Structure 1
Amino acid sequence: MNIFKQGVAGAAASLVLAGACAPAGAYNVRLQDVENKAMQAGVQAATEQRWDEAERFFQIVLKDEPESASAYSNMGNVHLSQRRPEQAVTDFSRAIQLAPEAPVPYLNRAIAEEQLGVNAASAGKADEAAGHYQAAIQDCKDAQSRDGKEFAAFFNEGNVQARMGQFKSALAAYSRAADLAPGIAGYRLRQAELLFQNDRTHDADVMMRGVVRKSPNYAEAHAALAAVEWASGQKGLAEDHFDKAVTLDGRWSKMGYIRQQTRWPPALYQAMERFLSIASVDDDRISS
């Protein structure tokens, strides 16, 4: 059994940042499989989000196998999900020491470093936040160097670059992730969002249309496309896509919900705010 399968190593870490802000899990691993009853039980508990129980099982594994990189990395995922990113960084660092050629611990440590950066930024510690973000980017690049097809490492790099306001670098990273994983609609949508941020409105429009054509029930894509089309003067099309988004989920009519659930770049938030503001005025005129 490969205890670093995506359902554990990637998804468990991703749960710490809910919704569209969640980072991506790795698609494959390079660590040695471990056949161990306690490990299996820990993986099962983590999959079911029984974090305290999973932690106990991984501690049992480490007592018997103190140099198990797998156990340290899975323990790091548990600590991330318990909102303990500092401990998670320590766990992933130990896994990296034990298995330096495996991309997954680097990828997951990047997630923990990003969360530490978010925490520091929220506390007004800009320099500290920047340090964590830089560490996260370096971990993503280290994962990429170990597996050039590890699309999650490119996607997560894009997330951090966007947090830092490095929108051209973010676009490049998202584009690479989307090309490596063309079946993941969210990757292509994120690429399109950064195209809009980088003043490539037409390209963003075309790409978002492709996303909603392939994934017609993707509410966020319809909402984002509405903002882009409104910004480019396509009022009728914007209203059609907005109506589709709200039909799928009425919460997409609320800017607070959009900010909470997405990781859009600033220009797209501003475009949506303008759309909602003007649309609200138009509705008021019609109702009066």
Structure 2
Amino acid sequence: MINKIKKINKRVKPYQVLSTISRTRWVLPTLLVEIGCYFQNRFNKLGQIFCLVTLLLLGSLWFSHPAFANVYTEEQIQAGNELTQKAFALTEQGKFAQAESYWTKLIEEFPENPAMWSNRGNAKVSQNQLESAIEDFNQAIILAPTATDPYLNRGTAWEGLGEWEKAIADYHQVLELDPNDAMGYNNLGNAHAGQRKWQEAIDYYQKATELAPNFAFARANYALALYEIGEIDKSLQILRNLVRKYPQFADVRAALTAVLWSRGKQGEAESNWVAALGLDPRYRNLTWLEVNRRWPPQMITALEKFLKLQ
């Protein structure tokens, strides 16, 4: 399933901007970052421009907070802004270890800023250093106990460790702080899917899409889970609508291939498969789909049948 971490204090997570987003200025509204950065190479130049502008804007927000003016000199704040922009640029390029080193420098200079800790945690998650990332998220939560992003990001790390109940607890904390947090509901769906509790997962995905109708990842997760419980026609309709709106969404193209093939629509299935592989050739790897993408079993089986008979 597609998991959303608030990366870079990335509430990123990848798509349209949510209609309602509330964040503190200490911890970045990560969805905006994820939206731009996810699509920058998948869709068009607009996503790349959006990503860069958002990163620069959010970086300046950290140091424009009045609390900084009372504690740090203008030179220190300017230097912090420059380091932040470098860390964002490296993250955008996928150079997570280098980005982590900049977040470490920022933590040394601004140890009371929770965003620095949370963002370093995200850099560690991207390197699969999950236990260490959780330690950073813990510190961010100590410094900003009412900010949602560190809880959501820590939940993602718990998921990576297979600690479903701990992840669920963090996502419920997100929703206690912000009941309209669509990513919190999406990730709750993912955690329940990890436990093979498909109906519960569906309910959470549906809630996420109700709160944020343009949240494409939640809608894609919803379609995958529906297929798992046998609601194939509804799943097919959602996947087709997503491909129409986001033609370069590789995950949806691959899933649509599997569903179409199971429905005997060979030509349409093969057309979508060519498009999916052109976007991301890893979809040939069923183990990757199971372990990394965490597709539901029935969807993997459907794609496996397509690959064997293709």
Which amino acid letter does the alignment assign opposite residue 272 of structure 1? L
Structure 1 SS opposite 2:241: helix
Query: CA separation in 1, counterparts of 2:136 and 2:251?
Result: 35
Within the alignment, does 1:181 sit opposite 2:229 as a pair? no
Structure with higher RCO (Cα < 8 A, 6+ apart): 2
Which of residues 65, 69, 73 is equivalent to 2:114? 69
Which of residues 70, 82, 86 is equivalent to 1:45? 86
- Does the aligned pair in 2 maintain the 1:30–1:102 contact within 8 Å? yes
Query: CA separation in 1, counterparts of 2:79 and 2:108?
Result: 7
Within the alignment, does 1:88 sit opposite 2:133 as a pair? yes
The runs of 5 or more residues in structure 2 that have no matched partner are: 1-5, 15-19, 27-60, 64-76, 92-97
Query: CA separation in 2, counterparts of 1:52 and 1:210?
Result: 38
Which of residues 268, 272, 284 is equivalent to 1:254? 284
Query: CA separation in 2, counterparts of 1:139 and 1:146?
Result: 11
CA gap of 1:82–1:42, structure 2 versus 1, over 3 A, is farther
Deviation per CA, 1:22-64: give whole Å up to 9, x if none: xxxx9552254541345423422321233243133223224xx
Which of residues 173, 179, 182 is equivalent to 1:148? 179
Q: Which residue of 2 aligns with 1:162?
A: 193
Which amino acid letter does the alignment assign opposite residue 155 of structure 2? A
CA gap of 1:175–1:248, structure 2 versus 1, over 3 A, is same
Which amino acid letter does the alignment assign opposite residue 9 of structure 2? A
- Does the aligned pair in 2 maintain the 1:219–1:245 contact within 8 Å? no
- Report the alpha carbon displacement of residue 81 of structure 1 after superposing the two structures with TM: 3.2
- Report the alpha carbon displacement of residue 154 of structure 1 after superposing the two structures with TM: 1.6
- Does the aligned pair in 2 maintain the 1:54–1:78 contact within 8 Å? no
Q: Which residue of 2 aligns with 1:30?
A: 24
Deviation per CA, 1:74-118: give whole Å up to 9, x if none: 23223323432212212211221222111111011112212233x
Query: CA separation in 2, counterparts of 1:86 and 1:9?
Result: 18
Query: CA separation in 1, counterparts of 2:117 and 2:288?
Result: 36
How many residue pairs align between the two structures? 243
List 4+ stretches of structure 1 deviating above 4 A: none
Q: Which moved more, 1:261-270 or 1:38-47?
A: 38-47
- Report the alpha carbon displacement of residue 262 of structure 1 after superposing the two structures with TM: 3.4
Query: CA separation in 2, counterparts of 1:174 and 1:168?
Result: 10
Which of residues 151, 159, 168 is equivalent to 1:106? 151
Q: Which residue of 2 aligns with 1:241?
A: 269
Q: Which residue of 1 aligns with 2:260?
A: 229
Structure 2 SS opposite 1:249: helix
- Does the aligned pair in 1 maintain the 2:220–2:242 contact within 8 Å? yes
TM-score (norm 1): 0.73
- Does the aligned pair in 2 maintain the 1:42–1:53 contact within 8 Å? no
Q: Which residue of 2 aligns with 1:134?
A: 165
Structure showing greater Rg: 1
Deviation per CA, 1:144-176: give whole Å up to 9, x if none: 121122222222222222122121121122222
TM-score (norm 2): 0.68
The share of aligned pairs that are identical, in percent, is 29
Within the alignment, does 1:60 sit opposite 2:108 as a pair? yes
Which amino acid letter does the alignment assign opposite residue 60 of structure 1? E
The runs of 5 or more residues in structure 1 that have no matched partner are: 1-5, 20-25, 118-131, 281-288
Query: CA separation in 1, counterparts of 2:283 and 2:8?
Result: 34
Query: CA separation in 2, counterparts of 1:40 and 1:216?
Result: 36
Q: Which moved more, 1:135-144 or 1:173-182?
A: 173-182
RMSD: 2.9
Query: CA separation in 2, counterparts of 1:56 and 1:217?
Result: 35
